[in-house]
Amino acid sequence: MQDMDIIGELSWRGLIHQSTDQEHLARWLDERPRTLYAGFDPTSESLHVGNLIPLLLLRRFQRAGHTPILLVGGATGMIGDPSGKSEERNLLAVETLEANVASVREQAQTFLDFDGSAAARVVNNHDWMRGYSYLEFLRAVGKNVPVNVMLAKDSVRSRLERDDGGLSYTEFSYMLLQAYDFVQLYDDYGCELQVGGSDQWGNITAGIDLGRRMRGVQLYGLTCPLLIKADGSKMGKTESGTLWLSAERTSPYAFYQYWINVEDADAGRCLRFLTELPREEIEALDQSRTDEPEKRNSQRKLAAELTQLVHGASGLAAAERATAIFFGAEIEDLSERELAEIFADVPSHELPRETLGGEGLPLVDALVSAGLAKSKGEARRTITQGGAYVNNRRLGEVDARLQASDLANESVMVLRSGKKRYALLRFVG
């Protein structure tokens, strides 16, 4: 672990949104290795692109020699964080939550190093909240939290100003739980810094206040900006929903393709926020984007770095292989083996072989089965408008039927809708 000016590093990347006295924080971090934490909500069974920045933040701190703690909010997840939310949340079922905690914990591990002097640690706040009684909590913690301060927080105030619904007592209490986490981690591990997204500032400062009141210590906080696109929308959302970090939910190929397609206007920020490339390299890519944008060097690098980070070398290789095949070679030239290799990386579906017999399989049905159209009507529309391809050959007849002769090889057919949405259909049996 090399030592470096972590605050300076975060600063040129544009990753510092708010922090407790920045100069003091820089010096304090420089003095000796510190322990810090970031919290993650187990609201789903997989982390998503929105979690990448805080995850990477922990990783960056660890590389600079500090010890990261990744907190999974098994307890806070039972309540629901009102920050940044405009409506009261639905409570998750306890079993769902437990399963989510386990998989989030698992997933987060690929980002951090669990050996060495700055070995990372994963904790679950349910472990210490579970045994806490309501009365004990009110006496020990609640007593130290002024309601007028809580009411002044943006996250609370914006909800109180709405005349519909407001905020439940449960969600209002969320802040106390998160604040207490900070104190607990200070007690257990000497953790003195909390990092998170900009929407966490209120919760972080609540923790800092509580630390001062309960333990008389100075804690620190740092938030990073949210990753949004040039048009103001959230990064990591696709037509079909969220871009997940688990290969089961978003294939490495789809993940890779998302980044390849990032707009120029967003590429620079993505490189700074989401990769660990050195400054010179990122600036060279900025230059390349101005001088020779058609090379898409930024997008290629971004996709490669991130896919490698999230899905490992094999995931990246698979994504690149599928990309090279779809956006390069002639499908007809592909060997059985090559198609078999990419089969797993691309959205794919199986159909019984008989469907190709007789009259053949209507192209319309094939598009629906492959998931490229939501209904036959939509499939028909795509075909009529010239957007349907079989093995990269455009098929414009609405009533076209597919037969065994249309297979790209022994059993696979490559379907495409539009310019770049691919899906494979395998015929078995």
- Residues that bind RNA in the complex, under the rule CB under 7 A: 163-164, 231, 239, 257, 260-261, 263-265, 293-294, 296, 299, 323, 327, 368, 374-378, 380-382, 385-387, 417-421
Q: Which two tokens stand for residue 152?
A: 């002044």
Q: Say if CB 158 and CB 16 are below 8 A apart.
A: no
Closest to RNA by CB, 165 vs 190, is 165
CB of 192 to RNA, least distance (A): 42
CB of 201 to RNA, least distance (A): 29
CB of 310 to RNA, least distance (A): 17
Cα dihedral 52, 54, 58, 63, rounded to 10, equals 60
CA atoms within 13 Å, Cβ hemisphere of 98 = 5
Closest to RNA by CB, 95 vs 231, is 231
Closest to RNA by CB, 86 vs 261, is 261
CB of 326 to RNA, least distance (A): 7
Closest to RNA by CB, 155 vs 299, is 299
CB of 236 to RNA, least distance (A): 13
CB of 104 to RNA, least distance (A): 28
Q: Which residues of 221-236 are buried (b: 16+ CB within 10 A; e: fewer)?
A: bbbbeebebeeeeebb
Q: Which of 361, 415, 356 is nearest to 388 (CA)?
A: 415
How big, in percent rounded to 5, are the helix, strand and coil portions of the chain?
Answer: 50, 15, 35
CA atoms within 13 Å, Cβ hemisphere of 75 = 20
In angstroms, the Cα distances linking 84 to 155, 203, 357 are 7, 12, 55
In angstroms, the Cα distances linking 13 to 138, 194, 205 are 41, 19, 23
Closest to RNA by CB, 121 vs 229, is 229
Q: For residues 202 and 215, give the distance between their C-alpha atoms in angstroms, rounded to a whole number.
A: 20
Closest to RNA by CB, 76 vs 417, is 417
